[in-house]
């Protein structure tokens, strides 16, 4: 388990170091890698002594969760704003491109 916790710590610290510039794809890769490590940890059996010993290290890894979540929410807000902007532009385009009947014509006559 010590190796898995060490791997989790290294992964988390490396990601947190580049957190402010991390793109969506990097966050997805981090979450998937972290999930794989946690799954391996769950599959292993550990004594209560080992869990106590590693508990502090695990808590320190979990302390970064708030900043990671904050970055994820920032990216979500940016993506949402971009989608809203795109939808607004599409609605404006549709408003100007009304369906006109080009086959008909009006003729003005002088009186």
Closest to 34 in 3D by CA, of 68, 67, 71: 68
DSSP string, the chain: -HHHHHHHHHHHHHHHHTGGG--HHHHHHHHHHHHHHHHHHHHS---HHHHHHHHHHHHHHHTTHHHHHHHHHHHHHHHHHHHHHHHHHHHHHHHHS----TT--------
Is a pLDDT exceeding 70 seen at residue 20? yes
6 or 107: which leads in pLDDT: 6
**Taking the model in full, what pTM does it have?**
0.70
pLDDT above 70 as % of the chain: 90
């Amino acid at each position: 388990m010590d190796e898995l916790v060490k791997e989790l710590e290294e992964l988390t610290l490396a990601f947190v170091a580049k957190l402010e510039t991390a793109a969506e794809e990097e966050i997805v890769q981090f979450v998937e890698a972290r999930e794989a490590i946690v799954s391996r940890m769950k599959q292993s059996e550990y004594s209560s002594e080992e869990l106590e010993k590693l508990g502090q290290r695990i808590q320190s890894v979990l302390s970064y969760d708030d900043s990671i979540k904050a970055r994820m929410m920032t990216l979500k807000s940016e993506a949402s704003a971009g989608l809203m902007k795109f939808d607004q532009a599409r609605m404006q385009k549709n408003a100007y491109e009304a369906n006109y009947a080009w086959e008909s014509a009006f003729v003005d006559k002088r009186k």
